[in-house]
Amino acid sequence: EVQLVESGGGLVQPGGSLRLSCAASGFTFSSFWMYWVRQAPEKGLAWVSRIDSAGSTINYADSVKGRFTISRDNAKNTLFLEMNSLTAEDSAVYYCARATLGTLDVWGQGTTVTVSS
């Protein structure tokens, strides 16, 4: 079964850091681009970052550029999102998603990040 399982979310103070992980199984992880997408409370969906299959092409939304770092370990079938200088506006459920041309076809269950003092 194709599966993505996020972890690493939690409560963090403003200015703090968190590292999210996404464990992939049931498919050849190293062949796919991967995304992080977030959903603020009672809000819609917005892409955060993406990384190509080899980890050499990376993009960030303007709202997180310079603060978030996406990476992957293809040997361990895991995607990461390092988040620094967090603000209340970063509070959201963070999903990892598998990308194929023009679509995000598989999503994880999400991990919740709450930035609050």
What is the nearest approach in angstroms of other proteins to the Cβ of residue 95? 6
- Which amino acid would we find at residue 17? S
Burial zone of 65 (CB within 10 Å; 0-12 exposed, 13-18 middle, 19+ buried): exposed
Query: 8 and 20 in contact (C-beta within 8 Å)?
Result: yes
Stretch of residues binding other proteins (CB under 8 A), selected from 14-22, 63-71, 74-82, 99-107: 99-107
Stretch of residues binding other proteins (CB under 8 A), selected from 14-22, 66-74, 84-92, 105-113: 105-113
66 binds other proteins (CB under 8 A): no
Please state, in angstroms and as integers, the Cα–Cα distance from residue 117 to each residue in 11, 13, 14, 21, 87, following that order.
Answer: 9, 5, 6, 24, 10
27 binds other proteins (CB under 8 A): no
For other proteins, which residue of 26, 76, 85, 105 counts as binding (CB under 8 A)?
A: 105
Give residues in contact with other proteins (CB under 8 A): 44-47, 59, 61, 95, 101-110
